[in-house]
């Protein structure tokens, strides 16, 4: 039998009969690799005749006839994972989890599987031996009699074992190690990843068994394999963190069963991952001295309010071109805020070096952090400290106005809970918000110059 080969784009999974320098689908250069393919798919008997008297087949269903019953979700003991998944694990869902090597993906899902005492779980490992997983389980100090291990990479063997065990939850570590007998290419190749994921998808949907696929990521931080992989699964989670910090962040990139704005925070300890129920405790540094260039922002990640510390340093520029350096914040957004201060406030940032950092290594994209960034910049510019009992929540517009932000009452309540005495919000947020029920002083401001006069 003649072996068939094709060329696949490693970035998007585009298939071509010959090698080409630039992918016509995603536009990337030098991403095509040659792989063996064997399409041994039997021809299906297609009957075009209607099977019912009304001219409709059994497979076609009217939308009004479909029952809209909400399926019961499987709640894990991990509240952070439940939040990120949109309220628990959905039966029949296919979840892809990506993260850097050594970040704690295997530990997180081994820990969660062991904590599900009443659920039969099958943990399929293609990278580690049973002894290695046993060592990690001993370190976690959690015992579960319904937890089963399978160290195998062939999908044919895996599904034979699944038929015998009939698990209620399947975890695959990792999808790049699996190999389908229907594809000739090596494990980890584009066609193998696509085929093995498709087989797992069919199993999950037909048996209503939730499946978690742990995947590798590339140098640029995206999940390894073709982009089509992310379209095939129901949920994509990104497990990220800085090697220099003890905590990890579980972020939703795609979710067919809930919001994509949710965030789960964990702390890595010797006995596994600990849930961080109050993220503000790790995002605000404990300091005794009043220092300039520091402001606290009340932000939201999904439904969760968080207080983060914004640090700014403004110094005289030594070189001809002033530097703009940011960590955890959008550089273009910083340049916009500096332009607003220059134009609307008359502050000469054009001759200053500006360094901005979100403390704790977290990245914030909520526009409500604008006001805190602006106040931190002004504090460093004037070398005047802002009280550690004051926080901010507001978006800054191009004309220098302070714009309203969403869920303001939750932000105020979080600031009050953490012992803050004053919070600056947009004047337009005060309409429709009952601030009298809070024991924290709420200061409404409308423009940048009002904020400056109130603080300095």
Was 361 annotated as part of a binding site? no
Was 100 annotated as part of a binding site? yes
> What is the Cα–Cα distance from 239 to 373, expressed in whole angstroms?
27
> What is the Cα–Cα distance from 86 to 93, expressed in whole angstroms?
12
Was 105 annotated as part of a binding site? yes
Helix (H, G, I), strand (E, B) or coil at 72: coil
If 0-12 CB within 10 Å is exposed, 13-18 middle and 19+ buried, where does residue 43 land?
Answer: exposed
DSSP state letter for 367:
G
Contacts of 130 (CB under 8 A, 6+ apart): 149, 151
Was 317 annotated as part of a binding site? no
Find tokens 């029949």 and name the residue: 92
| DSSP H/E element including 426 | strand 422-426
**192 within 8 A of 142, measured Cβ to Cβ:** no
Find tokens 């979840």 and name the residue: 95
Find tokens 């004309």 and name the residue: 399
> What is the Cα–Cα distance from 105 to 108, expressed in whole angstroms?
5
CA 374, 380, 382, 387: dihedral to nearest 10 degrees?
80
Render the burial of 231-254: b for 16+ CB within 10 Å, e for the rest: ebbbbbbbbbbeeeeebbbbbbee
For 372-409, the DSSP string reads: HHHHHHHHHHHT-PPPTTEEEE-EE-TTSBEE--S-HH
Was 419 annotated as part of a binding site? no
Was 34 annotated as part of a binding site? no
> What is the Cα–Cα distance from 428 to 371, expressed in whole angstroms?
14
Q: What share of the chain is helix, strand, coil (3-state, %, to 5)?
A: 30, 30, 45
Was 99 annotated as part of a binding site? yes
**Can you say which residues are annotated as belonging to the binding site for ATP?**
99-106
**Can you say which residues are annotated as belonging to the binding site?**
99-106
């Amino acid at each position: 039998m003649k072996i068939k080969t094709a060329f696949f784009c490693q970035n998007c999974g585009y298939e071509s009969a010959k090698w080409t320098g630039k992918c016509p689908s995603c536009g990337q250069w030098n991403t095509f690799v040659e792989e063996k393919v064997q399409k041994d798919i039997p021809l299906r008997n297609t009957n075009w005749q209607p099977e019912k008297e009304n001219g409709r087949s059994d497979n076609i269903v009217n939308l009004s006839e479909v029952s809209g019953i909400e399926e019961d979700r499987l709640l894990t003991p991990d509240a952070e994972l439940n939040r990120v998944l949109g309220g628990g694990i959905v039966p029949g869902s296919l979840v892809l989890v990506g993260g850097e090597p050594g970040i704690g993906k295997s530990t997180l899902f081994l820990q969660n599987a062991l904590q599900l005492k009443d659920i039969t779980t099958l943990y399929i490992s293609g990278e580690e031996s049973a002894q290695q997983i046993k060592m990690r389980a001993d370190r976690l100090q959690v015992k579960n009699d319904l937890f089963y291990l399978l160290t195998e990479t062939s999908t044919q063997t895996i599904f034979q074992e699944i038929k015998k065990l009939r698990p209620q939850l399947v975890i695959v570590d990792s999808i790049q190690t699996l190999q389908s007998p229907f594809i000739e290419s090596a494990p980890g190749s584009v066609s193998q990843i696509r085929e093995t994921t498709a087989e797992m998808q069919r199993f999950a949907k037909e048996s209503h068994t939730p499946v978690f696929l742990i995947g590798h990521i590339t140098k640029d931080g995206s999940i390894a394999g073709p982009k089509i992989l992310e379209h095939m699964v129901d949920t994509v989670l990104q497990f990220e963190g800085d090697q220099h910090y003890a905590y990890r962040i579980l972020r939703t990139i795609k979710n067919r069963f809930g919001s994509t704005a949710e965030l789960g925070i964990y702390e890595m300890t010797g006995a596994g991952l600990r849930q961080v129920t109050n993220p503000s405790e790790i995002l605000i540094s404990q300091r005794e001295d009043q220092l300039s260039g520091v402001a606290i922002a009340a932000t939201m990640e999904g439904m969760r309010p968080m207080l983060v510390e914004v640090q700014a340093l403004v110094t005289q520029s030594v070189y001809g071109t002033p530097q703009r350096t940011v960590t955890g914040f959008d550089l273009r957004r910083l340049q916009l805020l500096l332009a607003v201060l220059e134009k609307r406030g008359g502050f000469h940032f054009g001759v200053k070096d500006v360094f901005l950092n979100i403390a704790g290594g977290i990245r914030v994209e909520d526009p409500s952090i604008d006001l805190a960034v602006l106040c931190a910049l002004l504090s460093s510019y004037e070398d005047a400290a802002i009280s550690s009992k004051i926080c901010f929540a507001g978006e800054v517009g191009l004309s220098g106005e302070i714009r309203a932000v969403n869920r303001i009452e939750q932000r105020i309540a979080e600031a009050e809970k953490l012992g803050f005495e004053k919070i600056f919000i947009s004047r337009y947020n005060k309409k429709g918000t009952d601030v009298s029920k809070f024991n924290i002083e709420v200061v409404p401001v409308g423009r940048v110059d009002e904020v400056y006069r109130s603080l300095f």
